[in-house]
Amino acid sequence: AQTVTQSQPEMSVQEAETVTLSCTYDTSESDYYLFWYKQPPSRQMILVIRQEAYKQQNATENRFSVNFQKAAKSFSLKISDSQLGDAAMYFCAYRSAKGAQKLVFGQGTRLTINP
Amino acid sequence: KAGVTQTPRYLIKTRGQQVTLSCSPISGHRSVSWYQQTPGQGLQFLFEYFSETQRNKGNFPGRFSGRQFSNSRSEMNVSTLELGDSALYLCASSYTSGNTEAFFGQGTRLTVV
Q: pLDDT band at residue B1, thresholds of 50, 70 and 90?
A: low
Please state the length of chain B: 113
Q: Which of residues 16-55 of A touch B (CB under 8 A)?
A: 33, 37, 42-47, 50, 52
Share of chain B above pLDDT 90, in %: 88
Q: Which residue in A47, A102, A108 is closest to B45 by CB distance? A: A102
Closest CA to B72 of B59, B53, B90: B53
Q: What pLDDT is stored for residue B96 in this prediction? A: 76
Residue of B nearest to A93 (CA): B43
User: Nearest to residue A35, comparing CAs of B50, B104, B28, B60?
Assistant: B104
- Give me the pLDDT at residue A72, please: 96
What are the tens digits of pLDDT across the range A7-37? 999 999 999 999 999 999 999 999 999 999 9
Residues of A in contact with B94 (CB under 8 A): 101
Q: A78 CB near a chain B CB, below 8 Å? A: no
A35-62: b or e for each residue (b if 16 or more CB lie within 10 Å)? bbbbbeeebbbebbbbbebeeeeebeee
What digits encode the pLDDT tens for the residues B8-22?
999 999 999 999 999
> How sure is the predictor about B99, in pLDDT bands with cuts at 50, 70 and 90?
low
Element (H, E) at B40: none
Residue A14: other Cβ atoms inside 10 A: 11
- pLDDT interval class at B97 (50, 70, 90): low
Q: Which residues pair with A14 in a beta bridge?
A: A114
How does pLDDT run along chain A (115 residues), one tens digit per residue?
899 999 999 999 999 999 999 999 999 999 999 999 999 988 899 999 999 999 989 999 999 999 999 999 999 999 999 999 999 999 999 999 887 679 999 999 999 999 9
Residue B60 has pLDDT above 80, yes or no: yes
Mean pLDDT, rounded, of chain B:
94
Q: What is the pLDDT of residue A97?
A: 87
